[in-house]
Amino acid sequence: MPKPFASSADTAAKEQTLEVLADGVYALTAEGDPNIGAVEGEDFVVCFEALATPVAAARWLAVLREHTDKPVRYLVLSHYHAVRVLGASAFDAETIVAHEATRALIAERGKEDWESEFARMPRLAEAADSVPGLTWPTLTFADRLTIDLGGDRGELVLQFHGRGHTEGDITLWLPRHRILFAGDLVEAQAALYTGDAFHRDWAGPTLDAVAGLRADQLVGGRGGVSRGRGEVDAAIAQTRGFLQAMLREVGGVRRRGGTLKEAFEATHAALVDDYGRWPIFEHCLPFDVSRLWDELGGVERPVVWTAARDREVWAQLQD
């Protein structure tokens, strides 16, 4: 029997949990669905990630509002993916911050990504009609942006560490608390989506830079909060291990003149024991291997995913 396309058969609601990581620092995790966060400044809030639709985002904001009623001055987008940005209008944020490459990617492929992602994971696209259009960052930067939280709350640092999950991922770092919101650069017990990735950069210098922050708590893109250096290191190691196994398997099949289908099967076999039970593993792997196949073949930037191309790759590899 063919496997259902991507996450189209994943319809069971996930439980959302708000965790207070430090005074005024919040994470909402959801059993493997996209995580989000918020940091209180003296008289404003910085939110990190926007979920897939305004209706989904409004539900998160209602939970956050049990803790703080300060207005959202900054909404930070870690990268351009639709399920993380299209809920932005619910925040009524003064400023929407992203990396400059993220803004360019939204212009180049935001519409296609929207259609692709909502078809891949319809459960997240709750009340899809409530999305008013693409989300446009109003403040972008290249390397680093610092926000003074006011009072004696210290500063919040947004940083680009190199190409990784996309061309423009940024992290949110709280030096005083050593808390890192890593976006999809790190996953904790969830499979990686690498369909728009730069695997060699990500597995090497980019993750080195993330690890170099030596966070005490880490909120990845999906999965639970990693608490303590041991769990933080484990999440980073798991992310790197997934990428390295992909590079080894896809690279091996390429070098011996094999096919994309063979590369998929070898990668699946190499990863399924350690990662197969984790969220979105089967969903992601065809897109992941397809992108890495291109990358190792010299295709510099990821080919744009469209709803039609998604179905073609799925039929070729996963059926």
In angstroms, give the least distance from the CB of 165 to Zn ion.
6
Looking at beta carbons only, is 45 or 52 nearer to Zn ion?
52
Looking at beta carbons only, is 57 or 253 nearer to Zn ion?
57
For residue 274, give the nearest of 310, 311, 302, 249 by alpha carbon.
249
Contacts with Zn ion, 262-281, as mask; x by CB under 5 A: --------------------
Looking at beta carbons only, is 184 or 295 nearer to Zn ion?
184
Looking at beta carbons only, is 52 or 213 nearer to Zn ion?
52
In angstroms, give the least distance from the CB of 195 to Zn ion.
9
57 pairs with which residues across the strands? none
In angstroms, give the least distance from the CB of 172 to Zn ion.
15
Contacts with Zn ion, 115-154, as mask; x by CB under 5 A: ----------------------------------------
For residue 172, give the nearest of 260, 289, 47, 300 by alpha carbon.
47
Looking at beta carbons only, is 184 or 310 nearer to Zn ion?
184
Length of the chain: 319
Looking at beta carbons only, is 29 or 41 nearer to Zn ion?
29
Q: Kindly determine how many residues on this chain lie close enough to bind Zn ion according to the rule CB under 5 A.
A: 2
**Tokens found for residue 107:** 């212009």
Interactions with Zn ion, residue window 71-110 (CB under 5 A): 81
User: Strands 17-22, 25-30: parallel, antiparallel or unpaired by DSSP?
Assistant: antiparallel
Asked if 187 is part of the footprint of Zn ion (rule: CB under 5 A), the reply reads no
Range in contact with Zn ion (rule: CB under 5 A) among 38-46, 126-134, 178-186, 273-281: 178-186
Looking at beta carbons only, is 149 or 199 nearer to Zn ion?
199
In angstroms, give the least distance from the CB of 182 to Zn ion.
12
In angstroms, give the least distance from the CB of 134 to Zn ion.
16
Binder of Zn ion out of 10, 49, 117, 184 (CB under 5 A)? 184
In angstroms, give the least distance from the CB of 317 to Zn ion.
20
Looking at beta carbons only, is 24 or 302 nearer to Zn ion?
302
| Closest residue to Zn ion: CB criterion | 81
| Positions that interact with Zn ion (CB under 5 A) | 81, 184
